[in-house]
Structure 1
Amino acid sequence: MSALALLRAAAADPEAAARAHKAAGGRVIAFLCDNVPSELIAAAGAFPLRLHGRPAMRTRAAERLIDTLYPPDVTQRPPFVASMLDMLIDRVVDFVDAVIVPHNRNAVQAIHRELNDAAAEHGIGVPRTWYLDKAWSPDAAGRAYDRAAILGLHERLEAFAGRAIPDADLAAAIVDGNAARAMVGRISALRGAEIQGSDALQLIAAFWALPHARFAELAAAALGELAPPPPGPRLYLGGSPQDHTGLYTLVERLGATIVTEDHCWGVRAADGMLPADVAPLDAIAARFQDFPACSIRFPLQRTIDANLARARAARVDAAIFAVADRDSTQAWETPEQVAAFRGAGIPTLHLRRQPYEPDGAATDLIGAFLQGLPR
Structure 2
Amino acid sequence: MGTPLERLLDHYEQRYPAASGEFVIGCVGQDVPVELVTAAGALPVRLAGRPGMDVTPGETYLGRGVDPSALSVLTRLLTGEYGRLDRLLVSRDCEASLRLFYAVRELRRLEPGLGLPETHLVDVLHLPHWTTTRYVGSRFAELVAVLERWTGTRLTAPRIASAIMLHDARRDLWRAVSALRRDLRLTGVQALAVFGAVLPVTEHNRLLRALLRSDLDVHTGRRIFLTGSSHDNPEVYRSLEELGSVVVGEDHDWGDLLATRLVGEPTLAALVERYQYNGPTAARASIAARAAHTAQAAADCGAELVLSYVRRNDDAPPWDFPAQKEALRPHGIPAVMFDRQDYGSIHLAEVFVG
TM-score by length of 1: 0.87
Unaligned runs of 5+ residues in structure 2 are none
Cα pair distance change 1:99/1:321, threshold 3 Å:
same
CA-based RMSD of the aligned residues comes to 2.1
**Identity between Structure 1 and Structure 2 (%):** 27
Corresponding residue number in structure 1 for 2:129: 139
Equivalent position of 2:228 in the other structure: 239
Offset at residue 285 of structure 1 (A): 0.7
How far 1:227 moved relative to its partner? 1.4
Task: Pick the aligned partner of 1:274 from 257, 263, 274.
Answer: 263
- Deviation readout 1:220-272 (Å, 9 max, x if unpaired): 21232431112x43221101111222222333333332211111211111121
Runs of at least 5 residues in structure 1 that lack an aligned partner in the other structure: none
Instruction: Look up the match of 1:171.
Output: 161
Q: Are positions 1:43 and 2:39 aligned together?
A: yes
Q: Which amino acid aligns with 1:50?
A: R
Matching residue within 283, 287, 291 for 1:300: 287
Shift of 1:306: 1.6
Shift of 1:38: 0.6
Match of 2:190 among 181, 199, 204: 199
- For 1:63 and 1:117, how far apart are their aligned partners in 2? 15
Moved more, 54-63 or 176-185: 54-63
- TM superposition shift of 1:129: 0.8
Partner-residue secondary structure (3-state), 2:181? coil
TM-score by length of structure 2 reads 0.91
Q: 1:168-215, CA deviations, whole angstroms, 9 ceiling, x for partnerless residues?
A: 111111121122111111111121422222221221121xx1211111
Q: Separation in 2 of the partners of 1:61 and 1:254? A: 34
- Which of 184, 206, 215 is 1:217 aligned to? 206
Q: What is the Cα deviation at residue 120 of structure 1?
A: 2.4
Partner of 2:92: 103
> Residue 56 and residue 198 in structure 1: after superposition, are their counterparts in 2 closer, same or farther (change >3 A)?
same
Structure-2 residue corresponding to 1:310:
297
DSSP-derived class of the 1:186 partner: helix
CA drift of 1:7 comes to: 0.5
Letter of the 2:131 counterpart: A
Rounded to whole Å, the distance in 1 between the matches of 2:238 and 2:83 is: 32
Q: CA deviation at 1:165?
A: 1.0
Q: Could you say which structure has the higher helix fraction? A: 1
Separation in 2, partners of 1:178, 1:104: 21
Deviates more, 1:52-61 or 1:315-324: 52-61
- The answer for the alignment partner of 1:85 in structure 2 is 74
Aligned to 2:152: 162
Q: Which residue of 2 aligns with 1:340?
A: 327
Contact persistence 1:28–1:48 (CA under 8 A): yes
Instruction: Please give the alpha-carbon distance, in whole angstroms, between the structure 2 residues aligned to 1:300 and 1:357.
Output: 25
Q: Quote the residue 1:14 is aligned against.
A: 15
Q: Are the structure 2 counterparts of residues 261 and 295 from structure 1 closer, same or farther at C-alpha, using a change threshold of 3 Å?
A: same
1:171–1:157 distance in 2 versus 1, CA, 3 Å: same
- CA distance in 2 between partners of 1:272 and 1:52 (Å): 22
For residue 60 of structure 1, report the CA deviation from its aligned partner.
1.9
Q: In the aligned structure 1, how far is the partner of 2:174 from the partner of 2:165? A: 14
The CA distance in 1 between the partners of 2:238 and 2:215, in whole Å, is 19
2:314 maps to which of 315, 320, 327: 327
TM-aligned CA deviation for residue 341 of structure 1: 2.9
Letter matched to residue 145 of structure 1? Y
User: What letter matches 1:120 in structure 2?
Assistant: R
Instruction: Say how many residue pairs are matched.
Output: 350
Q: Secondary structure at the match of 2:295?
A: helix
Task: Please give the secondary structure, in 2, of the residue aligned with 1:56.
Answer: coil
Residues 297 and 303 in structure 1, CA contact (< 8 A), matched pair in contact too: no
Counterpart AA for 1:298: A
